[in-house]
Structure 1
Amino acid sequence: MVRDDLCITVPSFFRCPISLDVMKSPVSLCTGVTYDRSSIQRWLDNGNNTCPATMQVLQTRDFVPNRTLQRLIQIWSDSVTLRVDSPESPTSTQSESVLSKDQILVAISELQTHCANRFDSLAKIARFAQDSEENLDFLVRTECFVPALVGFLDNVNDGVEFLEQVVTALDLVVSKMEDCEGLKNLILKRQGGGEKQSVDSLLLLLQQGSHVIKIASARVLKSLAVDAESKLLLAEKDGLLSELLNLITPEKDPDLMENCLSCLVSLSTPRRSKMKLVRLGAVKVFSNLLSTPSLSVSVTEKVLKLVETVSSTKEGRSEICEDSACVSAIVNKVLKVSSVATEHAVTTLWSVCYLFRDQKAQEAVTKANGLTKILLLMQSNCSPQVRQMSSDLLKIFRVNSKSCLSSYDTKTTHIMPF
């Protein structure tokens, strides 16, 4: 399998400490040392009662298959076979990553077997992943890699610096995963009646991590929200929604705000999540954001989407209607942002003013010159759905406020809504 001219080096972790050959069936003793099954079996059959590598007396002669290491050896073996069958020229190898796939497999092995080297191994893996899309694909295909990362993420006591390395690598890999269902099960599934601590680690990084790590943590959390169950589990985690809300205040970095908003949008669809957001004062946070000048289009769209989401609950509508500044800010986003923003804004106004006929909301829309904007919107190339909601809003104001509409005759004489 190995050709001298390719200078292929066998990773030391793949060699049996007894035979020094690549292990075919790696098994681990109670001491934690892994051997090839045939070699350690012969050692034990000869009457030995110690671990060959450490010379510790064995508390039990049983051993367990090391499936993770076996898969790594198989991946490495396949890659070697491919290079033997199709050797690359020196020119092509120069363009490869500084770290080879063999070195990365060794680093992944170190994650499993060498506690002291875990930080350096993760740093190597992160550099490898950042080097190319091909490298990311390789890591995604390495079945044992993501479970190994999640295993470290599940230990919140490893410290912020180490957890930052874990989330950096995990964020890179998640971006290439087509299906995050498996990741969701690894991180959120409770085993043996106990609660996994992975979300605690992600929350810790949202609170104490660097700027870049907070963004990565928000992206990983969003990737876990794949169904109603996972969204509820995350939203009900003490402190998670409140921390995300803390990170979307106007003085925060736009990239951080946008990723945290995306996470909130994903988590907010279940009714219980909406209710919790309202209780945490989300409407006030959204109102402050919408009142901030020079807000980016994408951030504005996401904030309006969240406002629309909470407006589907009685408590959320009540909070919106009690905050005239919030209604005014929504009205101001009806035009000149984007078609997406317009739809979210009009849907919210339609909900509070037309569907639920809130008098305070209607008055706030009137004071914010909302009727003029709605009339102008109907003259634009808006979607049929937006046009219908705008028409419904105008009917409400025509019925409830004749004096209001008469005042608009002087401002918008070129528009004939009825």
Structure 2
Amino acid sequence: MVRDDLYITVPTLFRCPISLDVMKSPVSLCTGVTYDRSSIQRWLDNGNNTCPATMQVLQSKEFVPNRTLQHLIQNWSDSAHSPVESPPSLDQLQDLMKDLRTKTENSNNNSRTLDSLTKIVRFAKESEENRNFLAKMDGFIVTLLEFLGNAGGRECRKFDFLEEVVGLLDLVLSKFEDHQQLTKTMLKSDRDCLASLLLVLQHGRTDSRIASARVLETIANDAESKLLIAEKDGLLSETLKLITPENDPALIEAGLSCLVQISMPKRVKAELVHLGTIKTLVKLVSDSNSSVTVTEKALKMLETLSSCKEGQWEICENGGCVAAILQRVLKVSSSATEHAVTILWSVCYLFRDERAQEEVARANGLTKILLLMQSNCSPSVRQMSADLLKIFRVNSKSCLSSYDTKTTHIMPF
């Protein structure tokens, strides 16, 4: 067993929900949630208008010092002789794992189990080497999956413990070499791991919801796993909530990455279209405040959905969608350009939708396509642009009726 005097256990109440460190200057928002002043100030300065823990829209961005909690933290710090915990050593980690497995089997002391797990999380966060060590440790992943699989099938009485498990899985799963075995264990066993991940998506902190989306992305490594994840009741719709434009950018990125990974099967694409994904994606693409990464991933998702008839129809039916995509053809990134052009090529050239073609013309899309062809674009983008120009050349109302796509001259408009 591990000696208790080797560690200083930090009460969960003393940790900032954003940084997870002991709060130095706790302040409370109008929602009643307390954060470390520097963490919440940075959150608000980045333009966010929600409470990170509850995602409620803030009626006021003012916060007040939580003097009572600050005194409690100070008294605890003085008595513990140290406000910061040190990660366990490798020898201590081995003892912690034995302790954790014993508690898993007996499952009597949830508080002590959480303490052991929290110390392992600190160890994982310390370095890449530590994460590799944990991923290769015999029985480590299996133990975590036992915790995860047993939590989702009933009311989770220790939700903070479940969040720690999901966060730790996010840290180490990418280092686990046998992804097929991992997927089989999580998705094809009698343990309901997906139910636990869904629970975290629904009720977890921002960082825990990000971790849950990343875990789902990691295990969606073949067609069967993608379908199993997508067909879990409520999971797709809950993942879509992550990409709401008002959310934290990191949460949006994690949600988009997860959706891109699981959306390849045709049935999944159709369901995502049915759930209104395209409207949300158009909002992200249209938002001038969206980061380059978010824009790229949103366009990638639109490209994926444009490859099915339901997605093509919805893109053409959704007024302003084509125009929003055209706005991102240039001046974002080469990846964004390729995704945007592929979508336009799909709806205008393959699907031959007249509404999309007319919207391209109204939005001065032909000029952008011509400019794109004169740029240092990839061969595939150049070919798709040429195909698009052929569509508009046959239109007698277009000034391109005599344009030769082999020339490098851009005609004036």
Q: Same fold (TM over 0.5)?
A: yes
Where in structure 2 are the equivalents of 1:17-416 lying within 5 Å? 98-114=87-103, 115=107, 116=109, 117-155=112-150, 156=152, 157-158=155-156, 159-191=158-190, 196-399=191-394, 401-405=395-399, 415-416=410-411
Structure 1 residue 407: deviation in Å? 11
Could you tell which deviates more after superposition, 230-239 or 107-116?
107-116
Distance across 2 between alignment mates of 1:364 and 1:302? 23
Size of the aligned set, in residue pairs, is 316
The corresponding residue for 1:25 is none
Distance 1:98 1:389 in 2: 54
Shift of 1:305: 0.9
Listed one character per residue, the Cα deviations across residues 248-269 of structure 1 (whole Å, up to 9, x for unaligned) are: 1111111111111101000011
Q: In angstroms, what is the RMSD of aligned CA positions?
A: 2.1
Tell me how far 1:341 sits from its aligned partner.
Answer: 0.9
* Cα pair 1:107 1:121 within 8 Å, conserved: yes
Equivalent in the alignment of 1:68:
none
CA contact 2:217–2:258 (8 Å) conserved in 1: yes
Tell me the TM-score normalized by structure 1. 0.72
Gaps of 5+ in 1: 1-9, 13-96
Q: Identity rate of aligned residues, in percent? A: 58
Q: Which amino acid aligns with 2:174?
A: S
Question: Which residue of structure 2 aligns with residue 28 of structure 1?
Answer: none
- The Cα offsets for residues 125-169 of structure 1, whole Å up to 9 and x where unpaired, read as 101111222322221121211101000101224432110111121
Q: Residues 7-38 of structure 1, C-alpha deviation per residue, up to 9 Å, x if partnerless?
A: xxx869xxxxxxxxxxxxxxxxxxxxxxxxxx
Q: Is this contact kept in 2: 1:290–1:300, CA < 8 A?
A: yes
Q: Conserved in 1, the CA contact under 8 Å of 2:393 and 2:400?
A: no
5+ residue gaps, structure 2: 4-85
- Give the greater-gyration-radius structure (CA): 1
How far apart are 1:414 and its partner, in Å?
A: 6.0
TM-score normalised by L of structure 2: 0.73
CA distance in 2, matches of 1:148, 1:99: 19
More moved, 112-121 vs 207-216: 112-121
Identify if the C-alpha distance between structure 1 residues 125 and 243 changes in structure 2 by more than 3 Å, giving closer, same or farther. same
